[in-house]
Amino acid sequence: MENLKLLNEAIENHLQTIENEDLRAASAYSLFPGGKRLRPLMLFAALKDLDRSLEDGIYPALAIELIHTYSLIHDDLPSMDNDDFRRGKPSLHKKFNEALAILTADAFLSDAFRYFLMTPISRQQKIELIELASSATGSGGMVLGQVLDLKAGESSLEKVQQIHLHKTADLFTLAILGAGIIAGADDKTKTSLKELAINFGLAFQIKDDLEDFNKNSDLQKLTFPKVLGIYQSEIHLQKYKERSLQITRRIFGSYELYHLIERIL
Ligand code: GRG
């Protein structure tokens, strides 16, 4: 696909900017072959539906994929989920070492902000995009989700929703609402884009939880099926999925983003 090709070229170019050999090797290992690149794909699809060119999305898509990759590297560390494998190969700290894994991820987060700044939009839009990036990833965003997840305690639907809202949905909000900011969408559209992203993010997480639950992977973790059981989780998944599709249809009609959401969920 054209957009993935452009993104991969941008990632390759990013790797070429890293002078230190160890950092470059660790970065390349975690970015290629990479995962599904869903967040960039969603940003591109939303931009297309908003009549903006793909090129306008390359730098923010790269930034979001760097942030997503940073979160997975940190999530795999011994002090977090302690996972030896990611995407079918040794996780970064296993392949290299823990210190380099932490630093590679730290660099991804910092470099991402430089790429947001390189987005071809007005100064005001850049400020809005960077404010969103900071809130979606920081102490009220993805990091908060991870902190809530680490803290053992009561299992309730509210708690699991809160965790996944921040851990998972906030980064999709950055991709989808970010496209709205880049395209100069009005406030009403931006509010709907945020609601769409939250519903999509929760549906995505329940689907992921159900797949893990069926594989019996980590039953210690606080997940939707653990709190609700399989049947009710599937009902919630359908509810969030329908809602995200409904909003997408209302804003854009049945175009790129609509079909992408249908394909993912
Ligand atoms: C450590 C700061 C810090 C944050 C970690 C997002 C997060 C918080 C951890 C990621 C771990 C995780 C399982 C999050 C849930 C979201 C999720 C299912 C991520 C996997 O996304 P995919 O399927 O991954 O898009 P690929 O491999 O395709 O890129």
pLDDT digits (tens, 9 = 90+) for 66-117: 999 999 999 999 999 999 999 999 999 999 999 999 999 999 999 999 999 9
Instruction: Quickly state the pLDDT bin for 221 (edges 50, 70, 90).
Output: confident
Predicted confidence (pLDDT) per residue in 35-52, tens digit: 999 999 999 999 999 999
Give the mutation target among 72, 98, 146 for probing the ligand 1 site: most ligand atoms within 8 A of CB: 72
Residue 161, token pair as written in the block: 């929703």
pLDDT level of residue 253 (50, 70, 90 thresholds): confident
Confidence of residue 218 (pLDDT cuts 50, 70, 90): low
Q: How far does the centroid of ligand 1 lie from the alpha carbon of residue 168, in Å?
A: 7
Read off the pLDDT of residues 128-159 as tens digits, 9 standing for 90 and up: 999 999 999 999 999 999 999 988 677 889 99
> Which percentage of the chain shows pLDDT scores above 90?
91
Cβ burial, residue 33 (10 Å; 0-12/13-18/19+): exposed
pLDDT class for 2, splitting at 50, 70, 90?
confident
User: For ligand 1, what atom is nearest to the CA of residue 86?
Assistant: 27
Phi-psi region of 199 (alpha: psi -120 to 50; beta: other; left: phi over 0): alpha
Nearest atom in ligand 1 to the alpha carbon of residue 204 is 18
**pLDDT band, very low/low/confident/very high, at 213 (cuts 50, 70, 90):** confident
pLDDT at site 53:
93
SS3 content of the chain, % helix, strand, coil (to 5): 75, 0, 20
- Ligand 1 midpoint to CA 68 (Å): 7
Ligand 1 — pocket residues by CB below 6 A? 35-36, 38, 71-72, 74-75, 80, 87, 142-143, 145-146, 167-168, 208
Q: Find the mean pLDDT for residues 2-13.
A: 95
Q: Which atom of ligand 1 is nearest to the CA of 167?
A: 6
Mean pLDDT of the region 188-203: 98
The CA 73 to ligand 1 mean position distance, Å, reads 9
